[in-house]
Amino acid sequence: MPERAVDAPAAGALRTVLGEFVTGVTVLTVGGALPHGMTANSFTSVSLDPPLVLLCVSRDSLMSACLADADGFGVSVLAAGQEHLARHFTDRHRRPGHAQFATVGWSPGERTGAPLLHGALAWLECRPWRCHDGGDHVIVVGRLVAARTGADRDALIFRRGRFDRSGDPHPAAGRRHIQQLLKEAQ
């Protein structure tokens, strides 16, 4: 039997509840005369045929305006150890345009020209496909025009308002626990 529905929580409480959902961390970028980057954890695949991905961008953000004018964008999926990049692209006081990429290793995407960050786990280049209203956010669906993977490393993840790394932090302890459970089951 399903739980009884309750009223939607206030924004702060909702942020706490949704913070329990572990996400990866990406940096969304646009190129052109005034390139811009933004850290985003609201990223997901939508479809393989056609190949589509989805990002949510605050309606009032500079990125929302940049995407409205862009003919393409890039997504860099950050690896563990790239927390400094995630923080850099959340800093609202960083210099705009090309200057925000001056201390960041990147290469222009071959298909879109959008900055793709060095050392990422994966890179995607997209053309805007559809935009939808999402309350205080814009839901941006992009059609992939290029995708590739980097080194096989742990991912940078986000949970409870903090960055962390994927992977089992105590693999030996995990194996011992599984071995103990198997032994007890015999």
Residue written as token pair 């198997």: 182
Q: What is the pTM of this model?
A: 0.82
Q: Which residue do the tokens 């862009």 mark?
A: 70
Mean pLDDT by 10 residues, the chain (186 residues): 63 78 94 95 95 96 92 97 97 94 97 98 97 95 97 90 71 53 59
Write the single-letter amino acid at 139.
I
Alpha-carbon distance values, 30 to 47, 72, 140, 150, 167 (Å): 22, 7, 13, 20, 30
pLDDT at 165: 80
- Confidence (pLDDT) at 171: 47
Task: Show me where the domains of the chain are located.
Answer: 11-185
20-60 pLDDT, tens digit each = 888 999 999 999 999 999 999 999 999 999 999 999 999 99
Say which CATH topology domain 11-185 has.
Answer: Pnp Oxidase; Chain A (2.30.110)
